[in-house]
Amino acid sequence: MTTSYARVSGVSQVELVEEESPPSLPAGAVEVDITYCGVCATDTHNYTSGGKVPPAVFGHEWTGTVRRVADDVRTVSAGQRVIACVGPACGTCAMCVAGHAEHCDTAFAEANGVTPDSPVHGGFAESIVVSARRVMPVVDGLSDVQAALVEPTAVTFHAVKRVRQQLGAVVVVQGAGPIGLLAAQHARHAGAGRLFVVEPNPERRRAAEELGFTDVVEPGEGFRAQLLEATSGLGADVLYECTGAAALLQPSAELVRRGGTLALLGFPMTDSTVSYGDWQVRELTIVGSLAYNHADFLGAMRAIADGSVVVDSLHTGTIGLGELAATMDELDSGKTTQAKVLVDPRR
């Protein structure tokens, strides 16, 4: 049996490759038929950079059905719906041995596609062979589209969990793309007292309003004045920076009250200039967040299943593998109306 997959072949170039499925699976592996794979900013960066991201990460937001498992696999079985995830703490890496299992080196390497058993391609494929550590059964009640959106939901679940946001906190979420909208919902679920979503794009502001957020505003002095009025001149308790725009890091920090928290979710592709003295004098807590751990996927699925986090409205388009390059160009243009595009590899 053959399978097709997409890989980056040059700067802003994608090629489709067809290869034979392996006759047998290595120990500890599973083969999954991909149902959907989401497209995210990491994928577009990989595409426009000519493949600077590991190949296994090009298409990492996937869900599918297990086709077959190696003889020693007991965690999942053929016919079971699964999502891509990272494995539980390994217990043997340096971080685990030192007692820092939540930052397991093995799971972090899996998230970044650099383990020795990482596949040669990601989930923009008809099927994929991965370690059984890298899949998790879909919880009851989730649709295939919802399952395909678990990975970005886990990214934001992880970030809000790391912040340890206090009940009743005044929260600002900067950016209303998929990550911002998911982070805002997790922050609301975590007990935010008042929550501002800041976004220049009117369509994205509308998407935030449709999710029930009422303080949805454009960036600028008008918003700043509104925030200071709401907090008696103090500023936000927590600000989640979800745009990844390097130039916004210092202005974002200046919206946070003394002793508050600046949480970094968006990943800047260039260096940032910030005022270390300002951050120190005001005793800001800076929380960086990248990827997730195994438990975050289960928490994310449960949040979707019980309705605490709504993901269906983020899905704005479905394409086939042959449309991937054109979609990447559109997403990179800065003029797209798409939020989350899913690839159906058999479309």
CATH superfamily of 154-288: NAD(P)-binding Rossmann-like Domain (3.40.50.720)
2-149+311-343 has CATH 1.10.3720.10 classification: no
- Provide the whole-model pTM: 0.95
Instruction: In whole angstroms, give the CA distance from residue 58 to residue 87.
Output: 19
pLDDT digits (tens, 9 = 90+) for 223-274: 999 999 999 999 999 999 999 999 999 999 999 999 999 999 998 888 889 9
Confidence of residue 333 (pLDDT cuts 50, 70, 90): confident
User: How far is residue 167's CA from residue 187's CA, in Å, rounded to a whole number?
Assistant: 10
Q: Where are the domains of the chain?
A: 2-149+311-343, 154-288
Report the SS3 class of residue 58.
coil
Secondary structure of residue 70 in the 3-state scheme? coil
Kindly give, in sequence order, each residue whose CB lies less than 8 Å from that of residue 326, ignoring residues fewer than 6 positions away: none
User: HEC string of 226-238?
Assistant: HHHHHCCCCCEEE
Q: What was the pLDDT predicted at 21?
A: 87
H or E stretch covering 154: helix 150-163
For tokens 């086709």, name the residue.
67
| CA distance to 66, 69, 111, per residue, from 128 (Å) | 10, 12, 16
User: What does the alpha-carbon distance between residue 179 and residue 40 come to, in Å, rounded to a whole number?
Assistant: 10
What pLDDT, on the 0 to 100 scale, is given for residue 152? 97
Per-residue model confidence as pLDDT tens digits over 77-131: 999 999 999 999 999 999 999 999 999 999 999 999 999 999 999 999 999 999 9
Query: 224 is written with which tokens?
Result: 């700043």
**Pairing, β 170-174 against β 236-241:** parallel
Residue found under tokens 């975050």: 296
- Local structure of 261: helix, strand or coil: strand
pLDDT-derived band at 9, boundaries 50, 70, 90: very high
Q: Supply the pLDDT for residue 195.
A: 98
Residue 49: what pLDDT?
93
| Residue among 202, 160, 210, 148 nearest 184 (CA) | 160
Question: Residue 160 has which token pair?
Answer: 């809000």
| Structural Rg of the chain based on CA atoms | 20
Amino acid 336: pLDDT: 83
Residue 4 in 3-state DSSP?
A: strand
Give the CA dihedral 191, 193, 198, 202, nearest 10 degrees.
90
| Lookup result for tokens 């059984």 | 132
Comparing CA positions, the residue from 224, 211, 226, 218 lying closest to residue 253 is 224
Contact criterion met (CB below 8 Å) for 124 and 37? yes
Determine contact, residues 182/161, Cβ cutoff 8 Å. Answer: no
Distance CA 207, CA 221 (A): 23
Cα first-last separation, the chain:
18
Residue 50 has pLDDT above 90, yes or no: yes
pLDDT at 54: 95
The DSSP 8-state label assigned to residue 7 in this structure reads E
Residue 153 and residue 192: Cα distance in Å, rounded?
A: 18
Q: What number of helices (H) and strands (E) belong to the chain?
A: 12, 15
